[in-house]
Amino acid sequence: MKIIVHIDEATQWQEALSQALPQATVLTSEAPAEERQQADYLAIWKAPAHLLQEQTQLKGIINLGAGVDYLLKTPGLPSDVPIVKLRDAGMGELMADYALYGVLHFYRSMDRYREQQQNASWQPQAVVEKSQWSVGVLGLGAIGGFVASALQQAGFQVLGWSRSPKQISGVHCFHGDGGLTELLGQVQSLITILPDTEATKHILNAERLAQLPKGASVINPGRGSLIDEQALLDALGNAEQPGHLRGALLDVFQEEPLPTNSPLWQHPNVIVTPHMAAPTPLNDAIDQVISYLHAFESGEKLSTVNPDAGY
């Protein structure tokens, strides 16, 4: 069995997979081209097109992350090779930490205290019961479902949304276009953890942002394509003319790195983080990859990526 690895920490992956699978040949994408060819499996993250195009006998592709949008757009991606992706693999807990921080930032008025500090203003803000602070989570897959449950366990009222019906204990779940409209009208903080697909592009446009209650906040650790950035800026307003929304915590953007001339950097009601909400924990991810390889080799049925759906 020959496995080619392409990811920033490729050498660590190579060592770990070689140790777990001593009968396999594990190479990084830096190996000479003649050695990379005839691979059985690719374990990759944002791999160059030539790595896909030079293979002729792939049995499977393992996407080393939860998002497959980059992979599905890569020229030369074979249409007849099954693709699996990391599902949670320890990312859920990290994403939940990020989401909880974002919710608490607005729930406990940290944005207002930051502004008050600049004016040397000593003014405690009222605190409502957590159960009275509704949090919406768009996307209830493995990671989104984990985040929704974690927020509910932290005491917040959580409303979740997905394209198709889902059930999560303690979470009021909505689905479909009508369900999205109903959810948006009720939440003080909105978290987006949807995949990047044609159906989700700018799912938060000007119309939908306006459906949020006045003073709501947006937290996006999902995909940069989910939010129309100009519509968000318009909804946030400025110091002279405050907008409909209170603030935003953004980890992902339409263009990354976020250009230095983007007005999001300087907006007083926006916190920018550099796509760091949920880095893939190496050990958990490697364990999942090993289980995928064993399943491929033994012919077990796997939950594979649907290229038409985009996830």
For residue 156, pLDDT beyond 90? yes
| Residue 239: band (very low, low, confident or very high) from pLDDT cuts 50, 70, 90 | confident
Phi-psi category of residue 301: left, alpha or beta, with phi > 0 → left and psi -120 to 50 → alpha: beta
pLDDT number for residue 88: 87
| Residue 35: band (very low, low, confident or very high) from pLDDT cuts 50, 70, 90 | very high
Q: Would you say 186 and 161 are in contact if contact means Cβ atoms under 8 Å apart? A: no
Percent of the chain having pLDDT more than 90? 97
| Residue 290: band (very low, low, confident or very high) from pLDDT cuts 50, 70, 90 | very high
Residue pLDDT, tens place only, 208-238 = 999 999 999 999 999 999 999 999 999 999 9
pLDDT number for residue 96: 98
Q: How much is the pTM?
A: 0.90
pLDDT number for residue 183: 98
Per-residue 3-state assignment (H helix, E strand, C coil) for 183-217: HHCCCCEEEECCCCCCCCCCCECHHHHHHCCCCCE
Q: Give all domains of the chain, ordered by start, each with its CATH number.
A: 2-87+280-298 (3.40.50.720), 91-272 (3.40.50.720)
Mean pLDDT, to the nearest integer, of 95-103? 98
Half-sphere exposure of 79 (CA within 13 A, CB side): 1
pLDDT number for residue 132: 97
Mean pLDDT, to the nearest integer, of 117-146? 97
| Residue among 6, 223, 246, 267 flagged as catalytic | 223
| Residue 17: band (very low, low, confident or very high) from pLDDT cuts 50, 70, 90 | very high
275 is catalytic: yes
The pair of three-digit structure tokens given for residue 151, joined into one six-digit string: 């927020």
Q: What is the mean pLDDT of the chain?
A: 96
Rounded to 5 degrees, φ, ψ at 37 are -70, 160
For residue 281, pLDDT beyond 90? no
For residue 3, pLDDT beyond 90? yes
For residue 89, pLDDT beyond 90? no
Residue pLDDT, tens place only, 61-84 = 999 999 999 999 999 999 999 999
202 is catalytic: no
